[in-house]
Amino acid sequence: MPMRNQVSDVEKIPQVFIEISLEEMHARVAEHIEDGWRFLQLCATTIESGIELVYTLGRGPEVENLVTNIANGDIVPSITDLAPAAFFFENETKELFGVNFKGIAIDFGGNFYKLSEPFPMNPDGFYVEIPADEPEPQVESEDELEPKPEAEPEAESADGGEADE
Amino acid sequence: MSERTVIPFGPQHPVLPEPIHLDLVMEDERVVQAIPQLGFIHRGLERLVKTRDYMHFVYVTERICGICSFGHSYGYSQTIERLMGIEVPMRAEYLRVIWFELSRIHSHLLWMGLAADSFGYENLFYQCWRLRERVLDIFEKTTGGRVILSACNVGGVNYDIDNSELAGISQIIQKLKRDAKPLIKALVKDRSIKDRLVGSGYLSQEDAVKLSIVGPFARASGVEEDIRMFGVGGYGELAEFKPQTSTQGDNYARVAVRCNELLQSCDIICEMIDKIPDGPICEKPKGNPPEAQGIGRVEQPRGEVVYYVKGNGTRFLERFRIRTPTSQNVAGMVQLLQGCELSEVPLNILTIDPCISCTER
Amino acid sequence: MSGTSKSPWIIHYDGSSCNGCDIEVLACLTPMYDVERFGVINTGNPKHADVFLITGAVNERNIGVVKQIYSQMLEPKVVVACGACACSGGIFHDCYNVIGGVDKAIPVDVYVPGCAVRPEALIDAVVAGLGALEEKRAALELASSYEAKELAKAAEQERLAEAASQPLLEEPAKTEEQTDIDINADEEPGE
């Protein structure tokens, strides 16, 4: 009776699960994407101490999973700047688990699916507003303003010169 | 300066088989931005793992999507088998590949019909679906159901097919391949269809990689990725497998890639039927899934599906998640729609082969 | 049988289904089952349709859409709930986002079980729905004719009552007096 050898399958498509902290997540994903890995999926699971996030990346037959544990109320940096396709999963996780992501490319603000009960997959979940960033420093020095008025007369003189000719 | 108007598209629209809502921001006839709004099919079935044990959950995964039905039960079974270390009999693997490739043929014929209908060729829609009925007859003869088969299970398959019946299926598929060729020729060689499809909806290879899109949508833009080429399960028994790609990246290329895949599937089925060994069809699993996590991947007709499973030692799984191809491709679809004309919108949406019920589960 | 029942037009909407029943609904139009020979056309406009084929256990976002399509259809109309999910929620009846069956959103006339529902059962259901369509049409006509009669009766009674309340002979004199009273109304502040 021919049976398939499971070991050869496991060798054919190796997969690893690596535990890292939330702070290094964005940098690790950026490293992988530069190396040629492709973003596959983002999965959230409710565990006793909070939520476990699994980011899956694939390159060819290999699969690498970056696992991180967060608590309810943590704010996670979004990876849509590296992988735009992640906006779907981040919006969904926000709505089903109450995990807030900072900086999603298209942010539905918790109305992605419009559910009948809030945070159905995470009974302890709650929505945390992202604190506003500090305002960017105003342009104070005149050095930055000077080139503009200089550019205009140059353009005008160039136009005037061409019109004359 | 032209004014911008917003036109709502969907959820009920004759060309869309499934509800999806798009807010199209228009300037005259051009779409400037498309904002998708999903959520019409979200049933929340991932929470059902808590109430249905891992053997019973196969029937739920089958009903995530009616078109990709067998593929979901196949992928789920494969992932659980890998997690639990179950060895599946060879005959079951061959039968699974046969049903899976039949499922791919029926899905591509369905899509070809809908695409033809969306750009006005109603007769071609009827011809494609008439041809598809032969595949549904095979499904009904072998499993009893036309759409939801309930054939795949953890540990193997539920039904066996006699060798004589397999020979009959091989002949039906060869005839189907001969009869599909005039339809494909109509789609691919007809001048007015070519005028409509060539050059529209272009997506470059860099964009395809950056947006991490999958499936024939990506293969038509030159990305050569297909899970079947890694040789998992029955696919390891094929003599050779080469994914169908194109470098043009427009709507015509996507149609051509799917037509080529259809013909390739016919060949795969005939090859599998020639080589199928005898033996048992199911290895009953013993025990419960261990406390571990696992990933499984299958190549469905619409692209690569990723299954994430987490067990906790009991017969109920801790977590189960499906990442379907359309959820990756939504970003690509939004990119495609920018800059196209209003009359091209239905075609551009259908060309990525959206399966919203898979996506929203 | 009226003309509508001889050629009912259908509108189909997917109310959060897995798509299996929807492709069987579309398969009815294809050459194998071919309902177009009975005059059935799949239209996208609710105002043109007589029969509403709905699939799927309706979810939170879809309730409004389903009700809107139903309210836009003109009377008489028939609703056919196709598939196990539309009848009662099916395998998803205990999911959190599902209300469990179409009849919790709109009134249903025909229930068709099956997962996925077979095209033969669908054709059977539409034919059964046509019987209900005929009954509704007859009831509408009866109601409209009954209403017309009631209105005519009420108008007649009103006219008779008005005629009875006015006196027979002094009508012309009363009007002169009334004009006198009107002229003097400012001086004499009512009696």
C115 to B19: CB separation less than 8 angstroms, yes or no: no
Per DSSP, which regions of chain C are E strands? 9-14, 41-42, 51-55, 78-82, 110-112
Query: Is residue C37 classed exposed, middle or buried when 0-12, 13-18 and 19+ CB atoms within 10 A define those classes?
Result: exposed
pLDDT tens, N- to C-terminus, chain B (361 residues): 567 888 888 777 777 778 888 888 888 888 888 888 888 888 888 888 888 888 899 998 998 888 889 999 999 999 998 888 888 899 999 999 999 999 999 999 999 998 888 878 888 889 999 999 999 999 999 998 899 988 999 988 999 988 899 999 999 999 999 999 998 888 888 888 888 888 888 888 888 888 888 888 889 888 888 888 888 888 888 888 888 888 888 888 998 999 999 999 999 999 999 988 888 888 888 888 888 888 888 999 998 999 999 888 888 888 898 888 888 888 888 888 888 888 888 888 888 888 888 888 7
- Examine residue B347 and state whether it is found in any structural domain, yes or no: no
Per-residue confidence (pLDDT) for residue B176, from 0 to 100:
92
> What does the pLDDT average to over C66-76?
90
Q: What is the biggest distance separating any 2 CA atoms in chain A, rounded to whole angstroms?
A: 94
Tally C-beta pairs within 8 A across A and C: 14
Nearest C-alpha in B relative to C55: B18
Which pLDDT band, with edges at 50, 70 and 90, does C191 fall under? very low
Region of poorest pLDDT, from A107-116, B236-245, C42-51 = A107-116
Q: Which residue is it, tokens 């539920």?
A: B158
With cut-offs at 50, 70 and 90, classify the pLDDT of residue C186.
low
Q: What is the pTM of this model?
A: 0.84
Q: What is the pLDDT of residue A145?
A: 43
pLDDT for B179 equals 92
Is-contact C11 C69, C-beta < 8 A? yes
Most B CBs within 10 Å, among A43, A69, A93, A106, to test the B interface? A43
Residue B190 domain boundaries: 46-330
Residue B243 CB neighbour total at 10 angstroms: 18
Please identify which residue in the block is written with the tokens 């003097």.
C184
Q: Considering only alpha carbons, which residue of chain C is nearest residue B150?
A: C115
| d(C-alpha C108, C-alpha C132), whole Å | 11
Q: How many domains, in total, are found in chain B?
A: 1
What pLDDT sits at residue B85? 85
Please indicate, yes or no, if residue B34 is contained in any of the structural domains: no
Q: Answer whether B211 touches A (CB < 8 Å).
A: yes
Q: What is the CATH number of the domain that holds B313?
A: 1.10.645.10
What order of strands is seen across the sheet that includes strand B21-27? B4-9, B21-27, B30-37
The residues spanned by each domain of chain C are 3-141
pLDDT for the residue numbered A45: 87
Q: Please check whether residue B356 lies inside any domain of the structure.
A: no
Residue B84 within any structural domain of the chain: yes
Q: Nearest by CB to B321, which of A2, A43, A83?
A: A43
Contacts of B47 in chain A (CB under 8 A): 120-121
Least CA distance to B56: which residue of chain C? C91
Interface of A with C in 86-115 (CB under 8 A): 113-115
Q: How far is C26 from chain B (nearest CA, A)?
A: 9
Among A52, A67, A69, A56, residue whose Cα is nearest residue A15: A56
Where along chain A do its domains lie? Answer: 6-138
Distance separating alpha carbons of residues C132 and C139, to the nearest angstrom: 11
Closest CA to B254 of B197, B172, B190, B207: B197
How far apart, in whole angstroms, are the C-alpha atoms of residue C27 and residue B139? 15
| Residue of higher predicted confidence among B1 and C10 | C10
Nearest-Cα distance to chain B for C162, in Å, is 55
Contact check, Cβ <8 Å, A12/B93: no
Interchain pair B43, C24: CB under 8 A: no
Q: Using a CB–CB cutoff of 8 Å, tell me whether C109 touches chain B.
A: no
Fold of A6-138: Beta Polymerase; domain 2 (3.30.460)
The arithmetic mean of pLDDT across residues C164-184, rounded, is: 57
Alpha-carbon distance A47 to A65, whole Å? 18
Give the pLDDT confidence score for residue B100 in this predicted structure.
93
Please report which confidence band the pLDDT of residue C171 belongs to, taking 50, 70 and 90 as the band edges.
low
Q: Is the pLDDT of residue A165 over 50?
A: no
**Between residues 261 and 290 of chain B, which touch chain A (CB distance below 8 Å)?**
277, 279-280
Please check the confidence at residue C189 and state whether its pLDDT lies above 80.
no
Given a cut of 50, is residue A142 above it in pLDDT? Answer: no
pLDDT category at A138 given cuts 50, 70, 90 is low
| Residue contact C61–A114, C-beta within 8 A | yes
Residues A20-24, mean pLDDT to the nearest whole number: 84
Task: Enumerate the residues of chain B whose CB falls inside 8 A of the CB of residue C22.
Answer: 17-18, 66
pLDDT value of position A162? 38
Quick check: C94 contacting A, CB < 8 Å? no
CATH number for the region C3-141 comes to 3.40.50.12280
Taking the C-alpha atoms of residue B237 and residue B233, their distance in angstroms, rounded to an integer, is: 8
The percent of residues above 70 in pLDDT, for chain C, comes to 86
